[in-house]
Amino acid sequence: MLDIERVRADFPILALTVGSKPLVYLDNAASSQMPNPVMERLLRYQRQEHANIHRAVHYLSETATAAYEAARCTVQQFIHAREAREVIFTSGTTESINLVMHGWGRKFINAGDEIIITVLEHHSNIVPWHMLCAEKGATLKVVPINDAGELQLDVYETLFSDRTRLVCLGHVSNALGSINPVKNMIATAHAHGVPVLLDGAQAAPHLHVDVQDLDCDFYAFSGHKLCGPTGIGVLYGRAELLEAMQPFKGGGDMIHTVTLEKSTYAPIPNKFEAGTPPIAAAIGLAAAIDYLQSLGMDAIAAHEHSLLQYATERLSAMPGVRLIGTAREKAAVLSFALQGIHPHDVGTLLNAEGVAVRTGHHCAQPLMQRLGVAATARASFAFYNTPAEVDALVAGIRSVQQVFA
């Protein structure tokens, strides 16, 4: 069990007030907050270790290089990758997915080929494939959902053909919190000889991720959703796939040799990390992973599941409140709508009560269209949230309803 008061003391931002109200931060699916140990590690790097990495032989560069590459090893262990070189640092999940699209998709997908996605996807796992299909003359096939927000696996199995080249699916839905049965879906894809990319942006902060156990081919996630800095993300890829891919960006540090006639590329992971990388952010991400692991991912998952259950019970009992997304397996996301009240009004009025939620289509417009709504209000929980904050959300919703009564 987590000592929540001790944990909350690590997050000074949680002591803020919004107007006269204490902050209740329930927008963790967009960005989580950063604890003191991560901020202190970032400050130590900037004060005592900052320099550009690789190549130089002076003290600061060697110190920064060692910390940066140690961060790669921390990520490797966190997701249980086979080798540190299978971990590519990017700016976030979006760039990680685009790296696969440009590096693997543009090389290996051709006219008439097919890519499978799901209706649950974030735009970052839809738009790059639209771009590739338009360029190559390929086709997207889409796995539908039931009304609860669960993937229809029987349909998924029928979508494969001899032209299927890639499956791209979210581990956890950012809009609904549905936890997809990705291990079984990966096994199905591999039975057809098709590699799988997982968008793990919403899974890595909440679940124990083991890429070898999942047997996925690519896994993407972001630092700012798991208590790390913005501007840092990860692409895991099987070494043999990464080695076969073409670089996404050209420039310094990703080359082996350059002449005026041609360039040859460095081995992975450097081949995909052109230019000065987000050094401080990578070190901060490693500190965030260390912090989460000090609490225990199982303890985090248990606490968040308890909060989700409590919030689901409270909101389900409220008249005029409709829960959107009722999958049997969910992470700590609760999307809802209030009868007769636009979600943006809900978010604005909740903010007046100090309650921070996300409103809109959550970069999941195809999903909203499938559900028959333009937008939802979304409360998303982290391990530092409390039942009392769920109560504050409920009280805030009642206040919103009274305004429109």
This prediction has a pTM of 0.97
- Kindly provide the residue ranges of all beta strands, DSSP E only, lying in 93-203, ordered along the sequence: 114-118, 139-143, 164-170, 196-199
Of 264, 254, 282, residue with least CA distance to 99:
254
Question: Do 172 and 331 contact (CB within 8 A), yes or no?
Answer: yes
> What per-residue confidence (pLDDT) applies to 280?
98
pLDDT value, residue 108: 97
The span from the CA of 379 to the CA of 360, in Å, is: 12
- Whether 216 is catalytic: no
Q: How many other CB atoms are there within 10 angstroms of residue 263's CB atom? A: 13
Other Cβ atoms closer than 10 A to 21 = 15
Q: What is the pLDDT of residue 26?
A: 98
Among 191, 193, 192, 236, CA closest to 97? 236
Output the CA angle 299-283-230, nearest 5 degrees: 80
The stretches in the chain having pLDDT less than 70 are none
pLDDT for position 405 = 86
Kindly list the structural domains of the chain, giving each domain's residue range(s) and its CATH number in brackets, ordered by start: 4-30+296-403 (3.90.1150.10), 39-294 (3.40.640.10)
Residue range 245-293, pLDDT digits in tens? 999 899 988 999 999 999 999 999 999 999 999 999 999 999 999 999 9
Q: pLDDT per residue over 328-377, tens digit each?
A: 999 999 999 999 999 999 999 999 999 999 999 999 999 999 999 999 99
